[in-house]
Amino acid sequence: GAISGAGRDLVYLALQARFTHLSGFHPAEKMQTFAAIDIGSNSCRLKIARVQQHRLKVLHEDREVTRLGASVFESGMVSPDAMASTLRALKRFYRAVKLHAADHIRTVGTAALREARNAQAFVAWVKSETGWDVEIISGLEEARLIHRGVMNHPGAQGRCLLVDVGGGSCEITLSERKSIRSTISLPLGAVRLTQEFLSGDPPAPEQIARLKQIIARELRKGERRLGPLRASLVIATSGTAAALAQASQTARKDKPGRRTGRGRGTGTQLVETRYVRRLAEKLTRMSSGQRSAIPGIGPRRTEIIIAGAQVYAELLERLALPGFVYSDLGLRDGILSQMLAEQDPKTTAHQQFERDRWIGILETCRRYGVDPRQWEPVRQHAAQLFRDLAAVHQLPEEYRTWLEAAAMMRDVGKFLNYQGHHRHAQYIIANSELFGFTPQQRSIVSAIARYLGKSRPDPEDRTMRGIPPEEHLHVHRAVVLLRLAVALNQDRASDVLKVILRVYPKRVLLEIRPGRTGAELELWSLRKEANYFREVFRRELFATLE
């Protein structure tokens, strides 16, 4: 969501601190190669790119229509045939990834796998055949990644609306100055709607009428959640938009459209709303063979193009939009952009990535009534402890982010109930939409925030079961650091205490400079943590007043 005024100032303060933290990070000299795999409800897509001078150069692309979602939207399960078909495509992608020696690979699943009851069986099969971990992302995370991928489109720097009608869902995002203002994911995918409403060839008029009613109902819900959608540019992505953009040329008898400017990987013409509606109605009266003969549609798109066209026509008309411009950028490009941002801090993508992350955290704190005056001193001390005790904790660099995020959100559980608020905080963090955090990363952050009371991380806890075993020791160590940061901030009325840390082979000395109201309570709290510190780090912790 958007944050303005004092909240936005806090965003930039947090960002400034983060960039200071990352100033010592240097990527490897070797040019990195990334691979992004999108397992969609209608098709699987691959894009491989290499980093050159802090930018991405595309090396290879591939796509295969597998209809993974067709059986899901009918029975709730991925059928064996759909699994096998998708896996064949992924094996081909695997060979291409090996051929290009990709250093980092990210594989995501969308609507079909979000809903399939046997999704984990498919994920396990992919893992056994390729070694890839399929990450099933939420609809809002899908929208965020699409937004990130499309931001290279000319005109996207201003206020624009992004629409992606996929196989299982439709993501709509309002963007301004390359930042997400609002976003929704609606169950208006072309495969889903075709399976549920369109059985005839061509479909009967009553089927089309029901389809339009459902689309209108979902769009009304979306309008209430998105708010006013004033936008000068509508950018549409995915195969349905590509087919409509090309087929609209036939619908208007090759009459030139309005030019909108050129850009790499983008369409150049406005596909006007009246032509989209005209084409949508024309397609409903045609047989499958007739539809497949239209340029841009073809035999694989013909089955689902009617539903997709109706979604676009209803959306454009309902929101009184002039039309859309097609872009072939999308989810895969967003995945690659995020991979670049995570690996190379010199890129503008990295800055935007960090900004999105911290805005999401700040918005979560605001939503659950956590005062910045409560979390900021704890965050500062957590960052200092991470930096000054690096030789002791030996945590990976990314844990700095997880630790600071946990420090900021540790009290969100008090919104539900003070009693057991650490458990509530863990649940909220793990299940919130935090832009820029994968489900596993949210689980790690939630676990660090969870164990601030009497309990300790245990592999048998439900909290820890969702975290890979190799991360358990890291979580233990991050928990200790956060507990020390909390101990240093017992008296909320006092100013932030200054701390000096001295590390010795068998002990750590923590010297506190008392604030205006003293530091006796903080000193007592730190000494209570000494046993846990020794248990985890095999060193004694001594806390004294300077």
Secondary structure string (H, E, C) spanning 224-261? HHHCCCCCCEEEEEHHHHHHHHHHHHHHCCCCCCCECC
Asked if residues 357 and 341 have their Cβ atoms less than 8 Å apart, the reply is no
Give the up-direction half-sphere exposure of residue 517: CA atoms within 13 A in the CB hemisphere. 10
The CA distance from 391 to 246, in Å, is 59
Position 6 scores a pLDDT of 46
Q: What is the pLDDT of residue 28?
A: 42
**pLDDT score recorded for residue 424:** 95
Amino acid at 240: T
Instruction: Report CA dihedral (445, 448, 453, 456) to the nearest 10 degrees.
Output: 130
- For 457-516, the DSSP string reads --TTSHHHHTS-GGGHHHHHHHHHHHHHHHHTT--TTSPPPEEEEEE-SSEEEEEEE-BT
Burial 188-213 (b: 16+ CB within 10 A, else e): bbbbbbbbbbbeeebbeeebbeebbe
Per-residue pLDDT of the chain (546 residues; tens, 9 = 90+): 344 444 444 544 454 445 444 434 444 446 899 999 999 999 999 999 999 888 899 999 999 999 999 889 888 999 999 999 999 999 999 999 999 999 999 999 999 999 999 999 999 999 999 999 999 988 888 988 998 888 877 767 778 899 999 999 999 998 888 788 888 899 999 999 998 999 888 899 999 999 999 999 999 988 887 776 677 789 999 889 999 998 877 656 555 444 433 333 345 588 999 999 999 999 999 999 999 888 888 888 898 999 999 999 999 998 888 899 999 899 999 999 888 888 777 766 677 777 778 888 998 999 999 988 889 999 999 999 999 999 999 999 999 999 999 999 999 999 999 889 999 999 999 988 787 788 889 999 999 999 998 889 998 888 998 898 999 999 999 999 999 999 999 865 556 789 999 999 999 999 998 877 778 888 999 999 999 999 999 999 999 987
Residues 50, 46: Cα–Cα separation, whole Å: 14
Q: Is the entire prediction scored with pTM above 0.85?
A: no
Residues in the chain: 546
CA distance linking residue 229 with residue 227, whole number of Å: 6
395: CB partners within 8 A, 6+ apart = 386, 474, 477, 478
The residue written with tokens 């491989």 in the block is 48
Model pLDDT, residue 125:
95
Rg (CA), the chain: 26
Give the residue from 123, 144, 146 showing the smallest Cα distance to 135.
123
pLDDT of 491 reads 67
